[in-house]
Structure formats: C-alpha cells, structure tokens
Structure 1
Amino acid sequence: MPSELTLVKPVALPAQSAVATIYESVNLADAFAVQLPLGTSSDPDVLWRFLIAQQPSWIGWLTNVRDAIVAFFGLKTAKHLATLSNEASVDRIGIFKVYGRSATEIVLGEDDKHLDFRVSVLHTPDLSPTRGGQLTVSTVVHCHNLLGRAYLSVIAPFHRQVVKASLRRAADVGWPKAAAS
C-alpha cells in the first residue's frame, strides 16, 4: 500500500503554473502531484533531472517504439531531440527544451508540426513543518491538425502512465536532498 509520500494523485492544473494559460486552446491538460518528504530539494530543475533519471526502464522501450512509428510521419524523435542537447544556443534538459525557469517552476516542452506541448514541474511549499512540499507535474498540449489530434488520442493514456510511474519511482528511490545552506 502506498504511503502518503509515494501516492501520486491526479490534481487540477495549478492556477499559478505558467502553463495554465499558455495556449488559447488545449487538447490535453493534466496534472499529477506527489507529496515530498521533509528535507527534499525544492529546486524544480533538480527535481526534474532526478525524475527523468529515475524513470522505470520500460519507458525507454516505449520511447523507442514511439520513435519508430513517428519517424515514418516525419515527426521529431527522442533520438533526434537528444542530439540537440549538445547545442549551446538552446537550453535543454535531455530531450526537452527549457522554456522558462523560476524559483518554484521549470517549464519544458517542444513544438512540432503536429502539436506543441509544455510540461511544468512545480514545487509548492507545505505549511506543515513535517513535509517538504508538493511536486506537481502538469502537461498541456495544443494540436495543430488532424495528425496531432490522432497522435494525441493514441499517446495520451501512455503519457499519463509514464508521468505517474515516473513520480512513483522517484518517490520509491528517494528524492534528492535540499542543498546545505
């Protein structure tokens, strides 16, 4: 049975998130949150890097399957995006372009011919002195065309499972500690 610190729950898109109003029309908007233990880093950049580094191995396999399919349609693949992280002109974390940073949130994503998406990694403090705040990962997607809508209808259930599994795995492994001040 999951503890409070490993329970991943669907939540409303946080109103304070930069992605809450980023697109005029949205084809997908979801958010999942997990309670962080006391002493966990509150730096959204650190939390995101940890989250993607701890992903279950099946996510890599799923990404490879996705790449094989979308390459046929001329869409950006994860392998292609990973090569872009070597370019100094664009701020990237792995395959994700960084669109914005603040003390509490990092916004990542990508634009392609079929759709644009943004992912928010938002840390909100907790009023309880025994908790380390809440981490919310939100995703918003704006489709440009029928290909984007078709792609999203296939990928959305997998996307939700990937986010939840990644958050659960990071919580099971143990979140990174706050930097000593």
Structure 2
Amino acid sequence: MTINKSHLPSTSILNADGKVYDFIDSFQGEFVDKDQTIGLTEIGRSFFTSGPKWVESLFTIRNKIVKLFGLKTPDKIIDRQKQLDNFKCEPGEQLGLFRVFNKTNNEIVIGEDDKHLNFRVSLFVDQKVNNIHKKSLIISTTVSFNNRFGKLYFLPVRPFHKLIVPEMLKGMIKELEQPRK
C-alpha cells in the first residue's frame, strides 16, 4: 500500500475561507469500495479505531504531560465501543479530544481549539474518475498557533505527527477494505 505526501485539496472546507495556517500537511492513499458501502461515517470511525498501538501510548503520555499545563485532554472513555457505535460524524459530536466541526458529501473536519493552538483534521474522499470502485482518502492537518506556547508545544509534536498520520492512513485503508459483517 502506497501512502504519498499530498496537498490540502482545493475544494476542502479548510480552504473555503482563505485562512492562512501556521502548519499544513496532507497524506493520500487509495482504497477500493467494491460494493459502494463506505461512507463518511465509516471513514470517521476508522480514524478512531485503526491507529497503531504505539500511537495510543504516545497519546497517553501526551495527555499526562499537557494536563499539567492546563491544556485540554479527553475525558476518560468508559465504553469506547459503545461511543464508536453511536458516533455518526455529525457536526457538534465529540469523540475523545476530537470534535466534528463540519461535514459535506465528501469531507469530515474534526479537531479542537485550545488556548495554545487550534487544529483541524480533514478526512477528504475523492472518487476516482476512471474507476468507480477506487477512491482516494486524503488526511490533511492544519494548525494555527494562538501564542508562543503553541509554537513551543508543536516543536516536539511535529516529527511524530509526520510518522503517525501515514501509519494511521494505512490502518484506516486496511480497516475500510475489510469485508463488512
């Protein structure tokens, strides 16, 4: 499976208002939707379920550290599977640290605003013109720093981010291409 560095899609919600971000990156991979049954809800859920275990460990460490500085951390999830089963990826819904900000026919934008920085993650699906069963999934991340602490916070995060997102995208595609039960 090939994951490529990409660009924020020109038709992404994140490009709609011409906002300038302090950090942007995008990664793209292709998946097959043979039965045309993979929608944005399945893509959104796969974002939360397909990450490597080492990413969960990094987030646990991150949450312990940033809590000391008064930054947002997700509430303790008691029944994660129940929350995932009920998660429809609709604007206003929240799962962990991620709130759904916007949703169109081909994109979900999730993220959070905090006192040090605001971030958005776009899960953008692009239908291939020459093959109705093949689609591109582009994960784009934007970050806007609210103060110097935001810049400082993101310095050690940035190299991990560039490792985590392609691995998550691979995991998402593998999960999405699994036969449905």
The verdict on a shared fold, with TM-score over 0.5 as the criterion, is yes
Query: Is the Cα–Cα contact under 8 Å of residues 34 and 136 in structure 1 kept in the other structure?
Result: yes
Aligned to 2:11: 16
> Over aligned residues, Cα RMSD in angstroms?
2.5
TM-score, normalising length: structure 2: 0.82
Structure 1 gap segments, 5+ residues each: 1-5
Aligned to 1:58: 54
CA distance in 1, matches of 2:138, 2:37: 14
Alpha carbons of 1:23 and 1:177: their partners in 2 closer, same or farther (altered >3 Å)? farther
Identity of aligned residues (%): 28
CA distance in 2, matches of 1:172, 1:90: 28
Aligned to 1:124: 126
CA distance in 2, matches of 1:109, 1:22: 17
Instruction: Give the deviation of 1:16 after TM superposition.
Output: 0.6
TM-score, normalising length: structure 1: 0.82
CA distance in 2, matches of 1:106, 1:177: 23
CA distance in 1, matches of 2:108, 2:44: 8
Aligned to 1:7: 2
Farther off after superposition, 101-110 or 47-56: 47-56
SS at match of 2:14: coil
Query: Is the Cα–Cα contact under 8 Å of residues 41 and 47 in structure 1 kept in the other structure?
Result: no
Alpha carbons of 1:77 and 1:94: their partners in 2 closer, same or farther (altered >3 Å)? closer
Structure 2 gap segments, 5+ residues each: none
SS at match of 1:46: helix
SS at match of 1:19: helix
Residues 2-22 of structure 1 show CA distances to partners (whole Å, capped at 9, x for unaligned) of: xxxx21111011111011255
Residues 119-177 of structure 1 show CA distances to partners (whole Å, capped at 9, x for unaligned) of: 11000000122642100010101001010001111111111211111111233445356
SS at match of 1:78: coil
Count of paired positions: 169
